[in-house]
Amino acid sequence: MGLVRFRDVVSLVCLCAVALLALDGRVACENGPLQRFEPSALFAAVEADDAAQERQAEHDRELGRLHQAVADLQSRVEALQRENARLNKQPDLELDETVEQIKQVALQKQRASLRHEEPQESQPLADSPSDLEAPEETDEVSLTPDGYEENPVGNNNNINNNKDSDYHRDRDSAPVSRANVDGVADLDVENVLEEVSEQTEDDSSSDEIVGEDAGALAGLVVDRSEEERGESEPLVEAEDGEDEDDEEDEPVLVRPSELGFSVLENGKFELLPQVSNKLHKTFRVVNTKFISLFHAWEHAGWRHRYDPTAPVALYVTKPISKVPGSTGKMISQISKSSCIGGTKGAQLRCKVALANKHGCEYSALKLSPPQYNLREKVDCERFFKVAMAPENAEKLWIGKDGGSYHGKNIKIYKGLKYDIKKRYGRCTKDKKGSAGYIMMDYIANPQLIEGRKFDLRTYLLIASTKPFIVFYHKGFIRRSSKAYSGSSFSRAGHITNHKVQDNTEGHFWSFAQLGDYLTQEAHFPANFMDDHFRHYVKRATNFVFQAARMRLKRRPGAFMLFGLDWMIDADQNIHFLEANGNPTISDYPGTNLGPTIWNEMTELITAVHREPSSLGPDLTVASEYAYGGWEMVFNEAEEFQRGDVYNACADFGAV
C-alpha cells in the first residue's frame, strides 16, 4: 500500500529526477519512470532548430531586398518628376523655328500653285492692286427686300464653299510677283497661322458634340467676344449684381440654309445625306419644361467660322410630357434673363439701373408703386425714413419675399411692424436670402369688378436674340373670389393669383369683358382697354425688355415667353407689378385666348428664325406690325437703321 501510494504521488506531482549520465544516457521523464534517451534525437532537434533559423534569415534577407527595390523605384519616380518639371519650364519648340517651318510649307504651296497656272500673254503676272483688291467690309446692316442681310462673306446655301472667307479672298486676290515667290518677306504669316488653326478646328469637329458645347456651336456666327465669354450657361441665373459686358452685338438677319432630315424609329432626328450639309449627324430633342402645347426640336451641329448656319426648329402641337433621351438645352430659354423673369429683387435692381443710366429715378417714371428692396442699403434707409413718418403710421404696405412665386409669402402690413424693424432695421445685407425682401406701397384704391379686386396678365415674347425682336400680346383678367375690404386682410380678398384663389367660376375674364364693364359700370372712357391701356402697356413692356437687354445672352434659335402683371386703380392709373418667366401656358376658360394665341406664337417664332421675309416687308414698330394678336414693340434691326437710342426717362416724360 505504501509503495503504491508513493508511485501515485510521484505520477501526480510529476516529480522527475533528472540525471544525465554521459556513459549510459539515462534520463528521468515527467509522469513516468526513468527512460533511456538516445543522443541522435537531441542532434535531430538541434538540426531542425538550425534549419528554422536559416529559413527566418532568408525571409529577412528577401524582405530587405524588397524594401530596397521599393526605395529604388521611389528614387526613379522622383528623378522623373524632376526631369518633367525641368522640361515643362522650356517651350516645346522655339517660336522662330515654328514660324520658319510654316513659312517654308506655305512657300512650297505657293510655288506649286504657280506651276499649275497658265497666265495669258496679254496679262502680266501681277495685276494692279486696285483690280484685285477685296471689297471692304462695312459695319452697316444692309437688308434686302426679302428682309435678309446681304452677307459679304458669301452664299450661305453652299456652306462648303470657303473661298468667300476673309482669308481665302485675301489670298486668292493677292498680287503675284517674283518677290512673293522667291522670298518670304511679303508672306502673310498671320493668315497662314489662322488657316492652320482653322484646319485644326475642322479636324476636331468630327467628334461627338453633346450638351452645352453643341448648343454653343449650333447656328449663326457669334462674334469673338461672345465666344471668349463662352456659351456654357447654367439655367440657374448668376448672382444678381454681377458685372455684365454691356457691348451689344450688331443686329443681323441671316438667311437660313435648307436642311433635310427624317425621323428614326427611336424618335430621334437624323440629317439626310446631302453634300451641302456640313453638320453633325445627331439632333437633340429639346423638352420645353413639360409645356403641353408644344415642344421644340433643335439640331446639334457645328459651324465653320465663315459659314453661318441658322438654327432649325420644329414645333409640334400634340401634347408630349416627356421625351426619352432628351439631353439638350431647351431653346425656349434665354440665359441671363433674371432682370425680367428672375427674383423680385433682381427685377427692381435692373429697372432702377436703367432709369439711373438715362438720368432719372425709377420712381419718377411712375410705372410701379414706390417699392424698396430691404436688402439694398439705400433702399432700406429710404423705406424706414418714409415708414417712420408720423403721417404713415397707419399706411398699408405689401411685403414680398424676393425669391417667391405664385403669390406665396406675401403679407399685408399696416404701419411699421416690429418684425420688419427687428430684421431689417440696421439696413445691412440680409444673410438669410440673397433675393432680399421687397416692401411696396399698397394700392389702397384699386378699381374693383363687382366689389372684387383684380389684376391683368399680358405677355412679352422675345422671339429672337439676333437681332432682338420683341412682341406684346394681351392676356386675361384674374378676379379674386372674395370681396375686397381695406380693413380686412384676407389673402383671397387681396391676392388675385389663381394659386391662391379657389377655382370658382368667373375667376378669369377677357379683356373685352373688362373693357365693357369699366365703361358701363365704372364710367371709364370708351375703348379704355383698346386705346389707353394697350398703348401704355406696350411702351412699358418695351421698358421691361430694355432693362434686361444688356444682360440677355444672345443665342441662335433662342426665344422666351414672359408673363407681365398689372393693376388699374380707381383713378384710371395703370401700375406694373412684376414679370414672371416661363408662365403657365393654358386655355384659360372664358378668355378666348387658347389655343389661337399659342398656335400664332409658334408660327411667329418659326417664321422669324427660318423665313422672316414671309412676315411681310414692314416688320417694324413704326408700321405697327402685328402677327395675329402679337404686336411688335421692338426690332433691333429697325433701331440700328433708324439710329434711334432708347431713353426711358424721355419715353415716360421724366426728364
At residue 332, the pLDDT reads 72
The per-residue DSSP string of 449-487 comes to ETTEEEEEEEEEEEEEETTEEEEEEEEEEEE-SS---TT
467 prior amide bond cis, ω within 30: yes
Place of cell 456652306: 159
- How confident is residue 192, by pLDDT bands cut at 50, 70 and 90? very low
Q: What is the pLDDT of residues 223-268, one digit of tens each?
A: 223 333 333 332 333 334 444 433 333 333 333 333 333 334 444 4
Q: Which domain holds residue 599?
A: 338-342+351-362+445-651
**Cβ-contact 294, 318 below 8 angstroms:** no
> What would the mean pLDDT of 350-360 be, rounded to a whole number?
94
439 sits in which H/E element:
strand 437-441
C-alpha cell at 579: 414679370
> What would the mean pLDDT of 159-165 be, rounded to a whole number?
35
At residue 107, the pLDDT reads 67
State the Cα torsion 585-581-249-349 to the nearest 10°. 160
Q: What is the pLDDT of residues 606-644, one digit of tens each?
A: 788 777 888 888 889 999 999 999 999 999 988 888 888
Is residue 261 assigned to a domain? no
Is residue 90 assigned to a domain? no
At residue 640, the pLDDT reads 85
> What would the mean pLDDT of 430-452 be, rounded to a whole number?
81
Distance CA 130, CA 240 (A): 53
Which of the pair, 456 or 131, is modelled with greater confidence? 456
Which of the pair, 367 or 167, is modelled with greater confidence? 367
Is residue 403 assigned to a domain? no
- How confident is residue 563, by pLDDT bands cut at 50, 70 and 90? very high
Is residue 432 assigned to a domain? no
The residue type of 583 is: P
Is residue 314 assigned to a domain? no
Average pLDDT of the chain?
A: 65
At residue 502, the pLDDT reads 52
Count of other CB atoms within 10 angstroms of residue 391: 7
Is residue 155 assigned to a domain? no
At residue 270, the pLDDT reads 42
Distance CA 540, CA 559 (A): 20
Distance CA 559, CA 373 (A): 29
Q: Which residues are CB-contacts of 111 (< 8 A; sequence separation ≥ 6)?
A: 181
Is residue 307 assigned to a domain? no
Secondary structure E strands in 266-365: 269-271, 283-285, 295-299, 313-316
Q: Which residues are CB-contacts of 496 (< 8 A; sequence separation ≥ 6)?
A: 453, 454, 455, 478, 479, 480
Phi and psi angles of residue 203, each rounded to the nearest 5 degrees, phi first: -65, -35
At residue 131, the pLDDT reads 36
Is residue 367 assigned to a domain? no
Q: Which residues are CB-contacts of 615 (< 8 A; sequence separation ≥ 6)?
A: 147, 604, 607, 608, 625, 627
The CATH number given to whatever domain includes residue 601 is 3.30.470.20
Which of the pair, 376 or 454, is modelled with greater confidence? 454
Distance CA 344, CA 342 (A): 7
Total number of domains constituting the chain: 2
Q: Rounded to whole angstroms, what are the CA distances from 346 to 237, 274, 340? A: 10, 47, 8
At residue 462, the pLDDT reads 96
Distance CA 524, CA 569 (A): 11
- Is beta strand 508-509 parallel, antiparallel or unpaired with respect to 448-449? unpaired
Distance CA 371, CA 442 (A): 9
Distance CA 509, CA 454 (A): 10
**Cβ-contact 234, 338 below 8 angstroms:** no
At residue 329, the pLDDT reads 33
Q: What is the pLDDT of residues 481-513, one digit of tens each?
A: 888 876 666 555 556 654 545 556 778 999 999
C-alpha cell at 558: 433662342
Phi and psi angles of residue 492, each rounded to the nearest 5 degrees, phi first: -65, -25
Q: What is the pLDDT of residues 626-636, one digit of tens each?
A: 999 999 999 99
pLDDT at residue 48 is higher than 90:
no
Count of other CB atoms within 10 angstroms of residue 534: 16
Place of cell 482669308: 167
At residue 410, the pLDDT reads 81
